[in-house]
Amino acid sequence: MLAKNIAESKYKLKSKPTEIVSPYANEPWWKEAVVYQIWPASYKDGNGDGWGDIPGIISTLDHVKSIGTTVIWLSPHYESPQKDMGYDISNYEAVDKIYGSMEDMDKLIEEVHKRGMKLICDLVVNHTSDQHAWFKESRSSRDSSKRDWYIWRDARYDAEGNRMPPTNWKSYFSGSAWTWDEKTQQYYLRLFAESQPDLNWENEETREAIYQSAVKFWLDKGVDGFRIDTAGLYSKKYPLEDAKFDPKSHTESDEFLFPELGQTLNGPRIHEFHKEMYSKVTGKYDAMTVGEVGVCSREETLKYII
């Protein structure tokens, strides 16, 4: 009997194991993706200049693949003054020289795909750098054809005649969310750094330029999608009004107050804008998009899912 039981046990060990089928087998590839973020500046220095770079990234792809990665998220690699680590983009269609060349980027896309992985990039389109050609043109004159590509407003004045920003909003970084432009005598909105003016998504021409330069350009290059930066901020609620004083989070001495979420986050046209970008650009590719939204209810979050 013992011999028979041993024989049966051996037989069972040799039997074919039950095949485990993933519940996502028939779903889009990104449903089961394992994403590995690479912050290029500090990741791998390939030429010894103290900055991480694209050739350095390429040299580690076998390791990245070996730990189970299926998607690499590359943080901003675009041309930039680097005042906010690349989140201040001066040219969407160029690679910053500290990271390498466009040829290096083409090689990275090729090598990632060669290993069966995919590559997504950061999409930063709530704002640009103040060194972007669009903003340089916008601030050149009130009559500029790109004046309305950004959000410009006249100053206010107090009872003593002191100039004041258009609203009492505080930047998410520090100080006022408005910066005075001496040449054209108006303020521009910048929810983040002074060097990061907010784009005006209400302008259809601006949106079309964003879709072509920041999105389609890279999808045509072969990237597989985007992690969308500050994806809930593009639609502002107009007219722009002062934030209300809240004794729970502010003191009487506060000069600037954070804008009410209802005026800058999950704005009235935000889902329209994302659906438009999907219908005009990303939906035409086998692309993954995942957005950074921030404070959001469950009900509001579901509206972002296309």
Taking residue 229's Cβ as centre, other Cβ atoms within 10 Å add up to 17
Catalytic residue among 93, 137, 229, 242: 229
Return the sign of the alpha-carbon dihedral for residues 129, 166, 168, 303.
Answer: negative
Of 85, 76, 171, give the one whose Cα is nearest residue 124: 76
φ, ψ of residue 90 to 5 degrees: the values are: -100, -15
Residue 158 is among the residues annotated as catalytic for this protein:
no
- For residue 242, the tally of other CB atoms under 10 A from its CB is 15
Active-site residue 220, yes or no?
no
Decide if 198 contacts 151 (C-beta within 8 A).
yes
DSSP per-residue string spanning the chain? -HHHHHHHHHHHHHSPPPPPPPTTTTS-GGGG--EEEE-HHHH--SSSSSS--HHHHHTTHHHHHHTT--EEEE---EE---TTTTSS-SEEEEE-TTT--HHHHHHHHHHHHHTT-EEEEEE--SB--TTSHHHHHHTT-TT-TTGGGB-EE--EE-TT--EE-SS-BBPSSSSBSEEEETTTTEEEE-SS-TT-PBB-TT-HHHHHHHIIIIIIHHHHHT--EEEETTTT-S---SS--PPPP-TTT--TT-SSBPPPHHHHSS-TTHHHHHHHHHHHTGGGTT-EEEE---S--HHHHHHT--
Q: How far apart (Å, rounded) are the C-alpha atoms in residues 98 and 41? A: 8
Annotated catalytic residue, options 27, 205, 208, 292: 292
Task: Write out the catalytic residue numbers.
Answer: 229, 292
